[in-house]
Amino acid sequence: MKKILFLSILIILSATVLACSAKDQAEPPTAEDVEEEFIDYEIKKIVLSKGYQSLSPNTEVLKKGSHLRLLVSPGLLESSGVTIDKITKAGNEINIYIRNLTNKEKKQLSTPQILIEIDDPLVKNLDELHFNIVSQNYKPIPLKLDKNQILNKVYSDLKIEPTSAPSIELTRLKDSLIWNISFSNVFNTEDSNFSLVNLDIVVDADTGDIIESTKENISTYIDEGILLDCIPNKALLYKQKHKKGEDEYDSLWIYDVETGRKRNIYISRYSIQSALFSPNHQHISFIEANETKSDIYMASISDEMAYKITPANSLNPKLMKWTDGGSLYFMNVDDSETTLFQYDVDGKKSSRKLYIDKNIESFDIEGDKILLVEYDETLMNKNIYTTKNGKELQNIGVGFQATFLEDGSIAYLKNVDKEDKNVLHICNKDEEVEYKDLEYSITNYFKLDNNNIILTKKNSCNNDYILTRYNLSEKTTESLATINSDKVFYDQEKTRAYIDISPPMDKDKHNIIYSVDLSKLNRIDNQ
């Protein structure tokens, strides 16, 4: 795949790209009284590509400075490699003589790609050139449909809308060629709940007809809604949106992972912005908001009773964080000032802890230290501070999504603008460590245990994400699965992920909550 990517990058970076079809023939076309002249050339790279985007012989002209670069494909071959015997010029005809190598142990179905560089000027106007691929010892394998045409036919025949590109392989079965196509995380349109399945298909390469297809269910439907929090192996916390006439409102629900029981614990007149389980699993805190103000509530899980805990004269509680079973910290944010409160669950009383003359986007607490990320809508990377009293702020860097880890070190994401990706930073008193994936951007992370965090990384080639475990002490990664959401609640014991996603074919665009079996999903092992 990296070789294919290399060639793609070369094409993108070229100043001018002229795509030219090239006829494959045994003898070059020559005008009468025009002699073939030999052209000096250098083969820069040969790749046996399995992209199968174009199965016909073709030549692409890459003009770069004083050099002429050609990307030549002889079409679909059974090959162990290719080479060029010679390149000649006869008038405006450029003839490329290609020989196929057929080592029985190494030959494979592929569309070879040959990158050639020519120093000699051919003609001033490249549009006047005609390229001919002259086959020396082979005939390209003719197929009516290329990869994209096959996939479009499969999508139409099976009425599926994949969220990411499938893996696809062209193979020989006796005297026939077949496409083996595998989809991961596909919505099953035959199911009213749009369950997620893995789908394996065998397609006749000549006709495009589906020979065989098998589905493997990888998900369990839980409910419609948006996930807010999770107690691994125990419960999910989520909200549902409702509309009655012109009025819109939310309701708050708990789902028992073991029994499958759903409980409605609160119906809001407005919108529920966020909700959290307490660490001892006895209470739920949530923030309700309308267009003019917000309020923070506490609810007992056992009796499902909710009550407002917003302090007097505090109209905008927006952020909250539990530190232990009995203490909830929350922030009232007004324009460019923020007030931190502590709520004692047993005493049912709030106390003001500190005031900060900044608009705070997120915060975390570890002992007597408070971690702050300053809000700035114009910046991706914001100022990150630590403080004990709100007056003395220590700037530790710029980024976003900052949290304390179990050992007191600080983790946050930082956007690298030139590379258009996010990287993970972990800093403590002694050092600052940066984890940067060479191919993927980190979109989210959360703490798993004392020595591991879970990363979600955006797969730019597909519309999906790679769930990865990062070991803090060893600084190593292990991919867990590919999944179609970056907002994931992970249950390590059950090897399951809980996600909410809106199926693209759902006309009402409802978010559906799924429990996904990670053991049945593809892993990316080139970490």
In a domain, 231, yes or no: no
What's 202's domain CATH number?
3.10.450
Q: Tell me how many domains the chain contains.
A: 2
Q: Write out the two tokens for 484.
A: 């179609």
End-of-domain residue from the set 135, 166, 196: 135
End-of-domain residue from the set 173, 192, 217: 217
- Give pLDDT tens digits for 319-351: 999 998 779 999 999 888 999 999 999 999 999
Residues 278 and 118: their CA atoms lie apart, in Å, by 68
Same domain, 78 and 6: yes
Same domain, 8 and 130: yes
Tokens 């940066």 label which residue? 434
In a domain, 379, yes or no: no
Q: What is the distance, to the nearest Å, from the Cα of residue 153 to the centroid of all Cα atoms in its chain?
A: 25
C-alpha gyration radius of the chain:
30
In a domain, 16, yes or no: yes
Same domain, 59 and 167: no
Structural element, H or E, at residue 448: strand 441-449
Same domain, 17 and 121: yes
Closest alpha carbon to 184 in 192, 194, 196: 196
Same domain, 129 and 151: no
- Give pLDDT tens digits for 107-160: 899 999 999 988 766 656 677 788 899 999 999 998 888 888 899 888 888 877
Closest alpha carbon to 383 in 394, 391, 392: 394
Q: What is the distance, to the nearest Å, from the Cα of residue 81 to the centroid of all Cα atoms in its chain?
A: 34
Q: What is the distance, to the nearest Å, from the Cα of residue 482 to the centroid of all Cα atoms in its chain?
A: 8
- Give pLDDT tens digits for 389-446: 888 999 999 999 999 998 899 999 999 999 999 999 999 877 889 998 888 999 999 9
Same domain, 27 and 124: yes
In a domain, 407, yes or no: no
In a domain, 289, yes or no: no
End-of-domain residue from the set 182, 217, 252: 217
Cα four-point dihedral sign 83, 86, 90, 94: positive
Mean pLDDT on 515-522 = 90
- Give pLDDT tens digits for 357-399: 999 999 999 999 999 999 999 999 999 999 998 889 999 999 9
Q: Model pTM?
A: 0.81
Same domain, 27 and 102: yes
Range of the domain at 26: 2-135
User: What integer best gives the mean pLDDT of the chain?
Assistant: 87
In a domain, 281, yes or no: no
Same domain, 66 and 94: yes
In a domain, 78, yes or no: yes
**HSE-CB of 432 using CA atoms within 13 angstroms:** 11
Same domain, 9 and 131: yes
In a domain, 188, yes or no: yes
Residue 523: predicted pLDDT: 60
Which residue type, as a one-letter code, is found at position 318?
A: K
Which phi and psi (to 5°) does residue 455 adopt?
A: -110, 145
Same domain, 191 and 121: no
Same domain, 24 and 103: yes
Same domain, 190 and 117: no
The SS3 assignment for 234 reads coil
